[in-house]
Amino acid sequence: MADTQNGRVAVYLDFDNIVMSWYDRVHGRNAYSRDRQKIAESPADAEIAEKLARATVDVGAIIDYAASFGTLVLTRAYADWSSPVNAEYRSQLVARAVDLVQLFPAAAYAKNGADIRLAVDAVEDMFRLPDLTHVVIVAGDSDYVPLAQRCKRLGRHVVGVGVAGSTAKSLAAACDEFDAYDALPGVVQPQADEAASTGSAPSRARSRRRSSDPTAELLERALRLGHDKDDSQWQHASAVKSLLRRMDPAFSEKSLGHKSFSDFVKAYPKVAEVDESTNIVRIRLAPDKA
């Protein structure tokens, strides 16, 4: 198993790929292609704006997942950030210290633009930063297979993230491990268009997320990520706290009014349980969450 305590992680997001793939996942196969012109010309149109909102990518879920492998040394997202669709994400990405790499399309849809730039940067980083242990590629194109293979030959642990149904099997096979974006902790699963148009199960799901405590969500996400790593029900409190700090460097239990990390976790009994019966404090998801 790769070292997730001392890992040093580089993250590369083909942002257009993820946005388009998730749009198709939510609205149906080839939905983005059908709506591309409207999205480019009239993103404020009521129907298009509603569809884009329902297909919003959870940037935090991706970054937090990558942080579960170790310290994020660099994180880059590649897209045409002047596009209204991508511009909506700029503040979120900048807030998570993501470098926005601007792509200026030479052709109508800049085919392979992100692929080539991302791959060149990643290989250069492998030689420039020899202490990198993990490379996280957020994309779904088979064009990234040679990159994944090269990173593995250079001794890096390669992790892939892509939208279910839109990821090439060859890319998943080329990675050391691959996870669907859909399955990342915190990602709300897409519902049928009919449900949304009638009043909306997706809207209710998003409303529940907005109204819930973001700190509780962060704790739950950390516990789920830790569980996914080693399939252990109980996790050491120190490991959970370390992961929380990687996910949110500003996290501090004392700033939240708690004397210790254990006290912080105990404040969320609906999310987690604490075992202090031994010298090693352990934490697990509450039964209703597990």
pLDDT per position as a tens digit, 14-28? 999 999 999 999 999
114 pLDDT above the threshold of 70: yes
What does the pLDDT look like over 27-51, one tens digit per residue?
999 999 999 999 988 888 999 999 9
| Reported pTM | 0.79
Helix (H, G, I), strand (E, B) or coil at 56: coil
What's the rounded Cα separation, in Å, for the pair 31 and 128? 40
Residue 190's pLDDT band, with cuts at 50, 70 and 90, is confident
What does the pLDDT look like over 235-245, one tens digit per residue?
999 999 999 98
**Phi and psi angles of residue 226, each rounded to the nearest 5 degrees, phi first:** -60, -40
Nearest C-alpha neighbor of 225 from the set 9, 61, 31: 61
Domains of the chain in sequence order: 8-211 (3.40.50.1010), 214-285 (3.30.420.610)
What's the rounded Cα separation, in Å, for the pair 102 and 250? 28
